[in-house]
Amino acid sequence: MTCIAWDGKTMAGDKRVEFAGLSSITTKVFRVRDGVVGMSGNGAMSNQMRAWYEAGAKADDFPEQQRGRDDWVALLVWRRDGLFLYERTPHPTKIEDKIFAMGCGRDYALAAMHLGKTAREAVEIASVFDINCGNGVDELSLCPP
């Protein structure tokens, strides 16, 4: 249940979260110490990953729940030195694409951005077609240099 999109200028995320069939509103895109993060997956585990990253992203402190599980979460980190994806280890994958998206609305968002839409517009489009996305959009860019 998520759509996080990055168009090289902004990161946007939908606001839908689900608890036992009840749709609620939450924030999935945040400003952090050195950039912007977007979260996808279980809300509690996503918040734990964000807290780990904000505390310095030390390998020894990586949340144990992330390792070797089938229900891990994804943390997309955008900093001045690039875009990085943290998943099951404290060692991120550097994303070198010009656009990127993750979550269940990913395919719709990628298609929209490929056709020239912004990250915000891509999440809005994904929210039309994927029932698991919606409830608004948050959008952030990096602070000016």
User: CB–CB of 85/92 below 8 Å?
Assistant: yes
Query: Residues 106-114: contacts with CB within 8 Å, 24+ apart?
Result: 106/3, 108/3, 109/3, 109/5, 110/5, 112/5, 113/5, 113/7
Domain ranges of the chain: 4-130
> With 60 as the cut, is the pLDDT of residue 145 above it?
no
Average pLDDT over residues 1-15: 96
pLDDT in tens, 71-84: 789 999 999 999 99
**What fold characterizes domain 4-130?**
Glutamine Phosphoribosylpyrophosphate, subunit 1, domain 1 (3.60.20)
* Position 6 confidence tier, pLDDT thresholds 50, 70, 90: very high
Using CA atoms, how far apart are residues 64 and 75, in angstroms rounded to an integer? 15
The tokens describing 77, both together, are 């980190």
pLDDT in tens, 17-50: 988 888 899 999 999 988 999 999 888 889 999 9
Average pLDDT over residues 78-104: 96
In terms of Cα–Cα distance, which of 23, 59, 19 is closest to 42? 19
> With 70 as the cut, is the pLDDT of residue 132 above it?
yes
φ and ψ at 13, to 5 degrees? -145, 145
Model pTM score: 0.93
